[in-house]
Amino acid sequence: MANKRRKKKTRAFPKFFVFLVILIIAGGLIYIYRDNIVESARRLSPNVFTYPTEYEEYVIKYSNEYDIDPRYVFAVINTESHFDPDATSDVGARGLMQIMEDAYDWIKFRLNDQREHTYDDMYDPELNIQYGTYMLKYLYDKFDGSYELAAAAYHGGMNAVDDWIDDGTVDPENFALEDVPSDITANYIYKVMNAYTKYQEKLKEDFENG
């Protein structure tokens, strides 16, 4: 009986080697472009990331000074700029809390702030947080302790919110997001309040139990 030829076994090593090289190259590219990848993902779905608490020293300082929940301030900063102190909007709002120039002038007057700074200094994190926190507290008090209406006024202007209340479009005692006539402002309120809820959960022990 004739001997059957044995088939030569193909070595797996070369294929594995090619796969390993591809894996190393892919890993290198991910490492090189990791910041861009993360930033792109953050823009697409910011809520999948941990809610940040950068500039905590200034947020705590001025939320205590103006008597407003620091978690709400964090929520507004997160919504406005994602904690980018150099952020500038399409309409020119600047800094962490996206202060407009007319708002800067108004707050500076209200605070009787005699320090030598200009609107260009709104890129300074501490000054920006001080002014933004003061504005939030003013709006919070003006609208009888409504975080939703304070957010609406911070985004769309207090005069617009006054008009909505005066003409009966929005009931401040029974606020409903769907009553807000501006879809853009309604979406902003939703983002702020969603972030505020997340910060309440994350920072419950820090800010409620000392």
| 5 or 199, which is more confident | 199
Per DSSP, what are the bridge partners of residue 195?
A: none
Which pair of tokens denotes residue 124?
């300074």
Whether the CB-CB separation of 136 and 150 falls below 8 Å is answered with yes
Please state, in angstroms and rounded to a whole number, the distance separating the CA atoms of residues 98 and 95. Answer: 5
Please state, in angstroms and rounded to a whole number, the distance separating the CA atoms of residues 204 and 209. Answer: 8
Lowest mean pLDDT among 13-22, 38-47, 127-136, 159-168: 38-47
**202 pLDDT band (50/70/90 cuts)?**
confident
Whether the CB-CB separation of 135 and 107 falls below 8 Å is answered with yes
List all residues 6 or more positions away from 161 whose beta carbon is below 8 Å from its beta carbon. Answer: 143, 149, 152, 153, 170
pLDDT of 1 above 50: no
Which pair of tokens denotes residue 177?
């997001």
**2 pLDDT band (50/70/90 cuts)?**
very low
pLDDT at 94: 98
pLDDT of 38 above 70: no
Neighbours of 126 (CB within 10 A): 15
Give pLDDT tens digits for 77-100: 999 999 999 999 999 999 999 999
Whether the CB-CB separation of 148 and 175 falls below 8 Å is answered with yes
Which pair of tokens denotes residue 25?
């190259």
Question: What letter represents residue 146's amino acid?
Answer: S
What fold is seen in the domain 54-208? Lysozyme (1.10.530)
Give pLDDT tens digits for 125-145: 999 999 999 999 999 999 999
List all residues 6 or more positions away from 76 whose beta carbon is below 8 Å from its beta carbon. Answer: 97, 132, 136, 151, 154, 192
pLDDT at 203: 76
Q: Where are the domains of the chain?
A: 14-40, 54-208
What is the number of alpha carbons within 13 Å of residue 18 lying toward its C-beta?
A: 4
Whether the CB-CB separation of 127 and 121 falls below 8 Å is answered with yes
